Amino acid sequence: MSVVPRLMTLADLSGPQINRLVNHAHHLKHLSMPWLTPQHATKKKSNLRMPSQSLFNKSIALLFSKRSTRTRIAAETAAVLLGGRALFLGSNDIQFGVNESPRDSARVIGGMCQGIFARVGAHEEIEELARYSPVPVLNALSSFWHPTQVLADLLTLHEHAHLFSPDTLVPSPTKPLPPLRPLTIAYVGDSANVLHDMLVTYPRLGHKVRVATPPQPQYNPPKPVWDRVIELGCDKHIVWSNDPREAVKGADVVVTDTWISMGQEAEKAQRLKDFAGYQITEALCREGGANPDWKFLHCLPRKQDEVDDEVFYSSRSLVFPEADNRKWTIMAAFDLLFGKWDVTGEKTLKGVQ
């Protein structure tokens, strides 16, 4: 019997496997877009190719214990395009975490659905789900990791590779994504799940990561996360400081995230105090020596304390293409993990259908 695949973090994949997922998202995006245009805009839809229908007649459980906009919409619409259906199972809808253990819930849900996309609190919850689920489990967000967000960021950067290298052509729907030149990617903010997947991903793809977090120990990555960073050799390509200006030095891309995650509302006053001076502005990046044409990413939702309107709504900002790409990278992960049980590409290499 096949081992049930899972994807908890991009640390679980090699660099080539991550690139395969991103390129597959690009492929699915351009197969799907003509089907989503108004009927009159494409005269001969009968001549169009369908995207993969690997989820035909399949159901994917969206097991969400936290609110979601982008992740939920991306997952529900991606499942439809793959021929399947997504069932939203919110924290007030089912017994999971109330009257039923993750182990029992995993077995029951996995007995009726063909995949579980779980957005949880503590990372231990999704590990337990994956341990006992008879179907693949994909991490939609946990306290440690956020793999689908960094996949969307990567797709967005590749689609805009021409902004970082003038000799790079704008991507074509019929060709593979253009490669990215080695970038310096700065992160200014809390050491949270998005940053953690950045730390185990970008260095293995040839990029440098520069980070600024407040000096208090609670803003450092948890030990299990940093252990994975070291295990993968990524720490050699990471510069860490407590000075946002130092972090953005030479940056091609500047990234931030929420300072107050769901469940941390009681800490708001202290966190705002700790993050004073961390707002992304033109002045901060100019004073820190970011590259003149630096671009900005944020996973959303955004608050003005984190980045001002001048940057957020400027031509530097790629946040809305980044949000759009949540759909296509989640679709790629659903297709390969839930539909084909081949997120690593090993079955494809072996010729297994």
Catalytic residue numbers read 299
Q: Which helix (H) or strand (E) holds 61?
A: strand 59-64
Beta-ladder partners of 211: 187, 240
Q: Which two tokens stand for residue 81?
A: 């395009």
The 10 Å CB-count burial string (b at 16+, else e) for 326-351 is: bbbbbbbbbbbbbbbbbbbbebeeee
Reference 339, options 20, 84, 23; nearest CA is 84
Strand positions, DSSP E, 142-227 = 184-188, 208-212
How far is residue 76's CA from residue 85's CA, in Å, rounded to a whole number? Answer: 7
Q: How many residues in the chain? A: 353
- In the block, tokens 């809808």 appear at 93
CA angle 255, 258, 260 (to 5 degrees): 150
Sign of CA dihedral 301, 307, 311, 316: negative
Give the number of other Cβ atoms within 10 Å of residue 50's Cβ: 11
Tell me the backbone φ, ψ of residue 100, rounded to 5 degrees.
Answer: -140, 140
CB 9 within 8 A of CB 228: yes
Query: Do 261 and 299 form a contact (C-beta atoms < 8 A)?
Result: no
Integer Cα distance of 112 and 60 in angstroms: 9
